[in-house]
Amino acid sequence: MSGPAPSAPRKALLRGMLASAPFLVVVVPFALLFGVVATEAGLDIVQVLAFSLAVFAGASQFTALQLMQDQAPVVIVLATSLAVNLRMGMYSAALTPHLGALPLGRRTLVSFFLVDQSYAASAAEFERRPTLPLPDKLAFFAGTVLLVAPLWYIATWAGAVLGTRIPPEYALDFAVPITFISMLGPMLRTWAHVAAALTSVVAALALSFMPYGSGLLVAAVLAMLTGALVELWQERRA
């Protein structure tokens, strides 16, 4: 006799794991690179791991590390790191209709593990299955994190331990742009999305002369305003 059929949440968990598996191609090199760069900046292994455990946001971690190396004021480090992670607020707003009814403790865990990969996979799943029950949605989200988070921590540790022994020809830094291109590309579904993305690129490049990467703060605000204005314009036309 065959065993019992998997429960619906268990199936959702497995779907989440499968959906996030392709991201490991870039998550692992990304984490390795952070471990290498952090140790080169003078952090010891415990500090590197604590950094990843406490923040769990690769782009923000790289930003903060670079600014700390540049001896930027603490206020600038915090403000720029928050600006880089402003997208998490938009991710949270997008997932609130699906996961907002969870108890506070579970919402807190979802908030902590909400990263680009877990959002991209979950948003696509919830759009395809809008009537999915809440337990299944939570299980799917958990599945998107189940592979990514442990391997992020393990690869960060490996990068910190190996340090400069990783040959430079491996070019681990390819993981950073590839990660964001692979996630942002499919999300550019409307003119508002495209306008916001183009504005952020142009503004970030034009304002790159500003100290401590503070141009990113301005670029993020301009991009959000542009996206909102284009969306309002389209609604008026409709």
For residue 50, give the amino acid letter.
A
pLDDT tens profile 152-188: 999 999 988 876 666 665 555 555 566 566 556 656 7
Q: What is the average pLDDT value for the chain, to the nearest integer?
A: 82
> Distances in Å between the alpha carbon of 7 and those of 36, 41, 56?
42, 47, 30
pLDDT tens profile 103-121: 999 999 999 999 888 998 9
pLDDT tens profile 35-85: 888 887 788 888 888 888 888 877 778 778 878 877 778 888 888 777 777
Pair 153, 56: CB distance under 8 Å: no
What pLDDT does residue 183 have? 56
> Per-residue confidence at 191, pLDDT binned at 50, 70, 90?
confident
What is the pTM for the complete model shown?
0.73
Would you kindly state where each structural domain of the chain is located, as residue ranges? 8-187, 191-238
Q: What are phi and psi of 184, to 5 degrees?
A: -80, -35
Gap between the terminal Cα atoms of the chain? 58
